[in-house]
Copies of this chain bind each other. A is one copy, B any other.
């Protein structure tokens, strides 16, 4: 992608591939630390590629449910400079809770393959993921909100924001855009072949990686256009 704001964020994210976020108690790896990273360029790249993220938060106001409950909602993430954006109906549960100051854990996972090992134990998944913590800023100023929604269009299809019918005032009002700083975040990845134990290497079963990739099929044009 993508459309980025004119200023410093662009320089920062393209220039310094060695820039790293500070580690925090929440982003410090508990185990398998070698799979983890705080590299900004790597985190940005995963956000830019991911068509979906899962937003976790605690909902303490579910009608008819007495206690706070974890909630995980899938939605489309995109990036503008150093912020991860999500959007939704202003009336939705996720938007309401987060707008009220709720804290989120947003996880993005790209699956790259099944790792088939000789031992059941060493089966795994090749993946790239990002985990981000924070509280959002509501993007309320109209020009910034329009630019953010344009950037979402550009992620879906470069050049599309100029071609679609832009949001009208009602639609803008019905949609909330939330911006999370890409500050307390880390990336994780596994790649490569299975890591079987030496004593299993001769075990007679196929071992290797079955690559997986989210692939676009033949576009299906709306019948209302093709019939016309």
Which A residues are within 8 Å of any B CB, using their own CB? 24-26, 30-31, 51-52, 54-58, 62-65, 68-74, 76, 89, 91-93, 103-107, 109, 111, 113-114, 116-121, 123, 125, 127, 129, 131, 133, 149-150, 152-153, 156-157, 160-161, 163-168, 171, 175, 193-194, 200-201, 203-225
Cβ distance A4 to chain B, nearest Cβ, rounded Å: 18
C-alpha gap A132/B102 in the complex (Å) = 21
- Answer whether A69 and B116 are a contact pair too, CB < 8 Å, given A123-B156, A193-B222, A217-B213: no
**Contact between B209 and A212 (Cβ–Cβ < 8 Å)?**
no
C-alpha gap A35/B42 in the complex (Å) = 35
Q: Which residues of B contact A30 (CB under 8 A)?
A: 91-93
**Contact between A26 and B127 (Cβ–Cβ < 8 Å)?**
no
- Answer whether A70 and B70 are a contact pair too, CB < 8 Å, given A161-B120, A215-B215, A222-B193: yes
Q: Across the two chains, which residue of chain B brings its CB closest to A133? A: B69
A72: contacting residue among B106, B164, B225, CB under 8 A: B106
C-alpha gap A150/B19 in the complex (Å) = 43
**Contact between B207 and A225 (Cβ–Cβ < 8 Å)?**
yes
Q: Which residues of B contact A51 (CB under 8 A)?
A: 111, 114, 125, 212
Q: Which residues of B contact A221 (CB under 8 A)?
A: 206-208
